[in-house]
């Protein structure tokens, strides 16, 4: 049954490409694709030939020459926004996309969607701008199994959302509470580590070029305040980085309230995680109590100022990271039981003679060596860093510090040895 004019005379590459997509043996390596046959086509949705196919689909025409016309009913192509149709929020995002500047046409972006308002807004936003940016989208969801049926309902909601937009769906799950108990580690740290390991697998298995998370300006402000209250240095003040390896945070320039307003305008529902309101957790107290107090009683632009502080801190952090890497290359030796650095190289790196410069670089060296050797998650506070530097300057040979993350620092005669605690290995 023909629905329109014949396209027998299309160029051979186009008709061959169409047959390839619909060949029963054709498949792309995606996990838990909840998108039917079109889930395979979306990966190539921005090549010139596939744009011709979109015109064919939109016109309701059949492609003949060995391809069943019924396939046209199966391969639904959702309408794309033209620049004139972009919402004001999407236009604002395109003018200043923090964390998205690394994206190039053809990049495959897995959107980390929990089901909450922020991540659902990110999904709808990227659906608006994907044609403009030339991106190939998929949806990723990690079920931490922390809230029983509610966690499973979140996963089903996100899977249904991905299906409704014909996007491939990648899902994984883990009993994070049991894992944290086994490892005797912080529950939030364990959940984050499991989630980011999932993201790393998506990139390593070439399901995506990048993974985008929906951290907002509010998340950035909360992170900086949490670090300040715990005790931190420049690295902690830098907060959440817009780009970290293959993970992008494109919404760091936007407030949570903006995202909810955007969803309400779209009449797009989302899921609420009641644990976010549990004020027994410090992060929830910062969100529900401290930031509203700061905005109401002290500074209405408190969040914006904390975000600006994080940005300035990251600029300084880049310089310190470069200097620290230079010192590690020259002065740190890898031994069977850990990383060794001479006391003089730690306490007077690069032969600097200004105390402020020395302290800043020495502290950064401690953090970098710890990050490379500690066998599990656990953050070093400013007091931990100070304790290591005091061990280097005043400690007796043989004295040992036990630090978060299973880290052990031992003073030797003229050096410090950073290693994993006894019985704990990477």
pTM: 0.73
Strand order in the sheet with 169-173: 169-173, 136-143, 108-112, 210-212, 247-248, 243-244
221 lies in some domain: no
pLDDT, the chain, mean: 81
Does residue 37 sit in the same domain as residue 150?
no
230 lies in some domain: no
5 lies in some domain: no
- What is the rounded distance in angstroms from the CA atom of residue 1 to the CA atom of residue 68? 9
Does residue 159 sit in the same domain as residue 256?
yes
Instruction: Please report which helix (H) or strand (E) contains residue 139, including its range.
Output: strand 136-143
Mind listing the pLDDT tens digit for each residue in 226-272?
Answer: 999 988 888 889 999 999 999 999 999 999 999 999 999 999 999 99
- What is the rounded distance in angstroms from the CA atom of residue 369 to the CA atom of residue 192? 21
Look at residue 2 and tell me whether its pLDDT is greater than 80. Answer: no
Q: Which domain holds residue 373?
A: 318-420
Q: What is the pLDDT of residue 354?
A: 74
Does residue 254 sit in the same domain as residue 128?
yes
CATH (domain of 341): 3.30.465.60
Does residue 179 sit in the same domain as residue 271?
yes
Q: What is the pLDDT of residue 269?
A: 97
Does residue 18 sit in the same domain as residue 124?
no
Per-residue pLDDT band at 50 (split at 50, 70, 90): very low
Does residue 150 sit in the same domain as residue 282?
yes
1 lies in some domain: no
Mind listing the pLDDT tens digit for each residue in 339-379?
Answer: 999 999 999 888 877 777 788 899 999 999 999 998 877 78
Q: What is the pLDDT of residue 374?
A: 87
Mind listing the pLDDT tens digit for each residue in 280-333?
Answer: 889 999 999 999 999 999 999 999 999 999 999 999 988 988 999 999 999 999
Does residue 119 sit in the same domain as residue 185?
yes
Mind listing the pLDDT tens digit for each residue in 24-42?
Answer: 343 333 344 333 333 333 3
Mean pLDDT, residues 410-419: 95
- What is the rounded distance in angstroms from the CA atom of residue 87 to the CA atom of residue 92? 9
Does residue 59 sit in the same domain as residue 111?
no
Does residue 202 sit in the same domain as residue 293?
yes
Q: What is the pLDDT of residue 68?
A: 38
Does residue 192 sit in the same domain as residue 266?
yes
233 lies in some domain: no
Distances (CA, A) of 65 to 14, 17, 18, 27, 53: 12, 13, 11, 22, 15
By CB atoms closer than 10 A (0-12, 13-18, 19+), residue 75 is middle
Q: Give the closest residue to 270 by CA, choosing from 84, 114, 409, 91.
A: 114
Mean pLDDT, residues 152-163: 97
312 lies in some domain: no
Look at residue 44 and tell me whether its pLDDT is greater than 80. Answer: no
Distances (CA, A) of 95 to 23, 209, 378: 41, 22, 37
Per-residue pLDDT band at 105 (split at 50, 70, 90): very high
In this prediction, what percent of the chain has a pLDDT beyond 70? 78
Question: What's the total number of domains in the chain?
Answer: 3
Q: Which 3 state secondary structure label does DSSP give 141?
A: strand
By CB atoms closer than 10 A (0-12, 13-18, 19+), residue 361 is buried
CATH (domain of 108): 3.40.50.620
């Amino acid at each position: 049954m023909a629905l329109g004019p014949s396209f027998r005379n299309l160029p051979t590459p186009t008709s061959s490409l169409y047959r390839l997509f619909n060949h029963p043996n054709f498949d792309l390596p995606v996990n838990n694709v909840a998108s039917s046959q079109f889930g395979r086509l979306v990966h190539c949705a921005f090549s010139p030939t596939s744009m011709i196919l979109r015109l064919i689909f939109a016109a309701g025409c059949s492609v003949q020459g060995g391809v069943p016309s019924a396939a046209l009913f199966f391969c639904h192509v959702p309408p794309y926004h033209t620049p004139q149709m972009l919402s004001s929020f999407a236009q604002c995002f395109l003018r200043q996309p923090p964390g998205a500047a690394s994206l190039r046409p053809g990049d495959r972006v897995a959107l980390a969607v929990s089901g909450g308002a922020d991540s659902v807004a990110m999904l709808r936003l990227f659906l608006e701008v994907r044609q403009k940016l030339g991106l190939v989208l998929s949806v990723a969801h990690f079920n931490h199994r922390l809230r029983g049926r509610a966690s499973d309902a979140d996963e089903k909601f996100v899977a249904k959302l991905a299906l409704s937009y014909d996007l491939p769906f990648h899902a994984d799950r883990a009993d994070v509470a049991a894992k944290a108990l086994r490892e005797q580690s912080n529950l939030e740290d364990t959940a984050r580590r499991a989630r980011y390991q999932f993201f790393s697998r998506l990139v390593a298995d070439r399901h995506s070029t990048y993974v985008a998370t929906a951290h907002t300006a509010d998340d950035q402000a909360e992170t900086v305040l949490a670090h300040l209250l715990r005790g931190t240095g420049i690295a902690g003040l830098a907060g959440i980085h817009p780009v970290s390896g293959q993970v992008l945070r494109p919404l760091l320039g936007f407030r949570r309230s903006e995202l909810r307003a955007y969803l309400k305008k779209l009449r797009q529902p989302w899921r609420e995680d009641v644990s976010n309101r549990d004020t027994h957790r410090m992060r929830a107290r910062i969100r529900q109590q401290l930031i509203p107090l700061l905005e109401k009683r002290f500074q209405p632009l408190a969040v914006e100022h904390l975000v600006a502080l994080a940005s300035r801190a990251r600029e300084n952090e880049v310089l310190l990271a470069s200097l620290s890497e230079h010192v590690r290359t020259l002065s740190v030796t890898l031994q069977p039981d850990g990383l060794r650095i001479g006391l003089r190289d730690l306490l007077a790196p690069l032969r600097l003679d200004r105390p402020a410069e020395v302290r800043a670089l020495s502290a950064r060296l401690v953090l970098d060596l710890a990050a490379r050797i500690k066998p599990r998650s656990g953050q070093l506070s400013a007091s931990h860093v100070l304790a290591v530097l005091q061990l280097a300057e005043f400690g007796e040979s043989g004295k040992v510090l036990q630090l978060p993350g299973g880290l052990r620092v031992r003073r030797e005669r003229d050096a410090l040895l950073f290693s994993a605690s006894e019985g704990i290995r990477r």
